[in-house]
Amino acid sequence: MKILVTGASGQLGHAIILQKPKQHQILCPSRNELDLSDELSCKKYIEFNKPDLIINCGAYTNVDLAEKEKEICLAINTSAPLTFAKILKDYGGNLLQISTDYVFDGKQNFAYKENDKKNPISQYGYSKAKAEELLEKFLKPTNQLIILRTSWLLGPTGNNFLVKILNLHKTKKELFVVSDQIGTMSSTFDVAKICWEIISKWNYISEHNYINHWTCSGISSWYDIAINIGDIAQKYKILDYPAKVNPIKTENYSTLAKRPIFSLLDCEKTSIVLDIICKYWQHELEMIISKIANR
């Protein structure tokens, strides 16, 4: 099978390629070859290469800057996958769309299920929710679509919370981290594994469970994760002493974009379908930091 991985240089794309089964041919174009912000570039690349399946993990993910750069955010997160869908519809290719907990508003106090109402409160969340809506229209009737929502994605590379906080632990004596946004982290390695499991069971899942949730198990805040990063990094001798982490409320931490206060995703349905148990977030966080320590 010929599989296109968009965003191959990003943290999730990198993990997906590392875990690829040997029987698949992987396309991982550079931005010069496939520019997600350019509809014509997307159209030409797909029409020329005709991948059997696209794993669309390329995205505009700067949540705050998206409030200012709405057009480019929509071009990358909404228009590009829609362009893919229109061409895939014609020749029968499939699309695995990576989505996010930010499609929800965070106002409920229990884990979001796959069919719960979407109500994004940021431009980034809107662009991903709109993509889901349009992709469902084009590809769901023919079972060419699977959506995988994840949250708080962390890995050893890329521009993510773990890497940022680890660097702050090294350079600061004191940190202030939001403690009232509740959810759970996801591991790039674990989500990549789930992508390949979904692809291996495509026919069944696309028909019966086309929207999927996958994160680590457990509940935490960004504050909890920041403390654990420091403690685990000290254990693996990445740090001599972690910084002191102080909790602050969202209202006292000014950002351009609103974040969901509660964005826990219910992964039970996906876990049953794939017969895989979600890994506990602290264990996955330690695994990721151990990889950083051993580089």
CA distance 216 to 88: 31
DSSP string, the chain: -EEEEETTTSHHHHHHHHT--TTSEEE---TTT--TT-HHHHHHHHHHH--SEEEE------TTGGGT-HHHHHIIIIIHHHHHHHHHHHHT-EEEEEEEGGGS-S-SSSPBPTTSPP---SHHHHHHHHHHHHHHHHHGGGT-EEEEEE-SEE-SSSS-HHHHHHHHHHH-SEEEEE-S-EE--EEHHHHHHHHHHHHHTHHHHHHH--EEE---BS-EEHHHHHHHHHHHHHHTTS-SSPPEEEEE-GGGS--SS---SB--B--HHHHHHHT-PPPBHHHHHHHHHHHHHT-
Q: Which residues are catalytic?
A: 124
pLDDT tier, 159 (very low <50, low <70, confident <90, very high otherwise):
confident
What is the rounded average pLDDT of the residues 144-159?
95
pLDDT, residue 127, reads 98
Task: Using pLDDT thresholds of 50, 70 and 90, give the confidence band for residue 158.
Answer: confident
Q: Say what the pLDDT of residue 164 is.
A: 96
User: 267 and 197 in contact (C-beta within 8 Å)?
Assistant: no
What are the residues whose beta carbons fall under 8 Å from the beta carbon of 283, sequence distance 6 or more? none
Q: How many CB atoms lie within 10 A of CB 82?
A: 17
pLDDT of residue 81: 98
Q: What is the pLDDT of residues 27-39, one digit of tens each?
A: 999 999 999 999 9
Whether 75 shows a pLDDT value over 90: the answer reads: yes
Q: Which domains does the chain have, with CATH numbers?
A: 2-156+185-216+264-278 (3.40.50.720)
User: What are the pLDDT digits (tens) for 77-102?
Assistant: 999 999 999 999 999 999 999 999 99
pLDDT at 117 over 90: yes
pLDDT at position 11, please? 95
Helix 281-293 / helix 161-171 crossing angle, nearest 10 deg? 60
| pLDDT over 90 (residue 275) | yes
- Which pLDDT score is estimated for 234? 97
Of the pLDDT bands very low, low, confident and very high (cuts 50, 70, 90), residue 40 is: very high
Mean pLDDT of the chain: 97
Q: How confident is the model at residue 149 (pLDDT cuts 50, 70, 90)?
A: very high
Neighbours of 118 (CB within 10 A): 18
Reported as half-sphere exposure (CB side, CA atoms, 13 A), residue 109 has a value of 1
